[in-house]
Structure 1
Amino acid sequence: MTTATGHKVALAFEDGVTQFITVPPGQTVADASYRARINIPLDCRDGACGTCKAFCESGTYDGGDYIDEALTEEEADAGFCLPCQMQPESDLVLRISGTADMAKSSIGQFTATLEKLHWYADNTAGLTLAVDDREKLHYLPGQYMNVKVPGTDEERSYSFSSGPGAEKLTFLVRTAPDGVMTTYLKERAAEGDRLVLEGPIGSFFLRDVKRPVLMLAGGTGIAPQLAMLEKLSASGEAPAFPIHLAYGATWDKDLVEVEALERYAASIEGFTFDTIVADAESEHPKKGYVTQHLLAEHLNDGDVDVYLCGPPAMVDAVRKYFAAEGITPTNFYYERFAVGVPHEHAVHPGQAA
């Protein structure tokens, strides 16, 4: 995301809304955000009060000058920073205190054309969208968009399965009986349809790889993991630590985009994956649940970053599995979804206590 005029900085707010700004060389993050009319918390502007204190999720920067009362050495070592003083040395992701509404920054709205509707099975569809003003839509791999269902007042939320650099956006949709999006896709959808999207939203996104990574996905929960892997593949750099994905599904037909995973296994050094099917009648090589196929090397005695996306039952089962094994991952980011309901009913990602 780096440009010739500066570095891209993602400002991730507490309500899941993310805004992107470009910080020119020699300018602080706070100055650039205010020029973009995003009012992040700020008071003294000279590193004395700590009002703007944020947490850097990824990237490198010059922290600038400040007093210990505003930011202690321990906080700085942990990744906290002061946007009023810091200058990016790479693209950054900052966790900002407060909501986007408090910062007087609204969620973005975009219009897109449905270019392709692909059915993997009778219960799983893939959407390919061409977004107007694509260059204005920036997102982090793992985030989602709210998609308004044509012909209704309803909207549904879907994670990007395409990486941030993709020209066309892709999404995976798990259908539901009598669901409004299902009805649209099966009865009315046609190539050329115009759709309205809002976002990007969500705190479930890929951080810098600073230790081994374990990705867990269930069903269409593979979508955000695909976006993360595309980001890693597109970087052209080998991750500093191994990455393993365990992808589970109820039925054979529920496993989608396995060929894409094979391509990523070939292009991302240190990336491996397993697919697991729960159906006892399946002839799939690995059967049961994802937790039954995790090895000690995947857990790394807890020094691991876990990214989990799947239905509520899967998320709860994984949490219980970690507790039973006495494993507390260094970071545990998760997102659970329910089929056919608005995203606000979902639990947003968190970190293991």
Structure 2
Amino acid sequence: MHVDDRQRHWPGQHYLIRLRAPDDYTAQRSYSLASDDSDPLVEFLVERLPDGEVSEFLADVAEVGDVLELRGPIGRWFRWDTYTPALCLVGGTGLVPAVSMIRAARRLDRSDLLRVVAVARSPEELPYADELARAGATIAYTRDGTGGRPPGPPTADEIGPLLAGAELAYVCGSSRFAEFAEGLLIASGVSPEAIRVERFGVTG
């Protein structure tokens, strides 16, 4: 998506996309940026939700050349500064901020500072799977076993080695996933003050 007068964004930030009907009725939704700041266009992942006013329009109605209302980039708390060692523990479409972080780290040759654990129910439900694999992300499927790993969420034994040297932990996903991930990190010795959580849910 092209954005006029685009401001610099940091990995982990998001935009607010607002739709406006002829009668001035509006609906809006926040979407995390998948793109790196150096990309010529901004990239969002839109999950088409049943009865989702914004997602259904973007998936089924919007066409190249349409003009949308945007506000952003937004978010200071969840952004990654690109030099602090960090772990991302993300689930489902909540992995989008981690993709932006991966791309920024690769561009700046700082991939050693970022570790990613991505969780999905199955390979079919993991966006950016190939890119995550190339970046060395740990992938956990809760319903499918792959590569010798049994199905199930990540464990403390799996994330423990990835936390070595990490100063921040980013969690993004549904409310249920965020609660699980935050609890797992705390049980693994991460200070609550070092955990930054972004959770989402279905909106009307």
Instruction: Report the TM-score range of the alignment, normalised by the length of the smaller protein.
Output: 0.7 to 0.9
CA distance in structure 1 between the aligned counterparts of 2:190 and 2:55, rounded to whole angstroms: 39
Task: Point out the more displaced range, 195-204 or 154-163.
Answer: 195-204
Q: Which residue in 2 is equivalent to 1:244?
A: 115
Q: Max radius of gyration: which structure?
A: 1
Three-state SS of the structure 2 residue aligned to 1:276 is strand
CA distance in 1, matches of 2:8, 2:114: 25
Q: Secondary structure at the match of 1:174?
A: coil
Q: Aligned partners of 1:250 and 1:257: how far apart in 2?
A: 14
Question: What's 1:143 paired with?
Answer: 13
CA gap of 1:172–1:190, structure 2 versus 1, over 3 A, is: same
Residues 218/274 of structure 1: CA separation in 2 closer, same or farther (3 Å cut): same
Query: How far apart, CA to CA, are the structure 2 residues paired with 1:246 and 1:138?
Result: 27
Q: Could you tell me whether the CA contact under 8 Å between 2:89 and 2:169 is conserved in 1? A: yes
Identify which of 168, 176, 187 aligns with 1:324: 187
CA deviations on 1:125-148 (whole Å, 9 max, x unpaired) are xxxx112234xx221111111101
Query: In structure 1, how many angstroms separate the alpha carbons of the residues matched to 2:166 and 2:100?
Result: 24
TM-score, scaled relative to structure 1: 0.51
**1:339 Cα offset (Å):** 3.0
Partner of 1:176: 49
Gaps of 5+ in 2: none
TM-score by length of 2: 0.84
Match of 1:206 in 2: 80
| Distance change in 2, residues 1:190/1:208 (3 Å) | closer
- 2:154 maps to 290
Q: CA deviation at 1:160?
A: 0.6
Show the 5 A alignment for 1:180-199.
180-199=53-72
Distance 2:69 2:123 in 1: 33
Identity of aligned residues (%): 28
Alignment partner, residue 139 of structure 2 = 275
Cα shift readout 1:284-323 (whole Å, capped 9, x = no counterpart): 33421134662432123x8532111111111111222234
Aligned-pair CA distance for 1:197: 0.3
Unaligned 5+ segments in structure 1 are: 1-128, 266-271, 342-353
Task: Confirm or deny that 1:132 pairs with 2:4.
Answer: yes
Residue identity opposite 2:146 in structure 1: H
More helix by share: 2
**How many aligned residue pairs are there?**
198
Q: Which residue of 1 aligns with 2:126?
A: 255
Asked if 2 retains the 8 angstrom alpha-carbon contact of 1:215 and 1:244, the reply is yes
Change beyond 3 A, Cα 1:223–1:325: closer
Partner of 1:339: 202
Q: Which of the residues 177, 196, 200 maps onto 1:314?
A: 177
Residue type at the aligned position of 2:63: A
Compute the displacement of 1:173 (Å).
1.6
